[in-house]
Amino acid sequence: MLVTGCTMSLQSDELPQDDNIYRVVIYPRTKSASVSCFGMEGVDMTVEGVYDSVDELPEWMQRKLAILNMFRVAPPMRTVEGIGRRIDKDTFWVYRS
- Report the alpha-carbon distance of residue 73 to residue 60 in Å, rounded: 22
DSSP 3-15: ---EE-----TTS
Whether 1 is in a domain gets the answer: no
Average pLDDT over every residue of 39-52: 74
Q: What average pLDDT does this structure show over 32-48?
A: 76
In this structure, which amino acid lies at residue 36? Answer: S
The answer to the question of residue 15 being in a domain is: yes
Count of domains for the chain: 1
Reply yes or no on whether the pLDDT at 41 is more than 60.
no
Q: Give the residue with greater pLDDT, 40 vs 28.
A: 28
Would residue 53 count as lying in a domain? yes
- What is the extent of the structural domain holding 79? 6-95
Mean pLDDT to the nearest integer, 10-36: 76
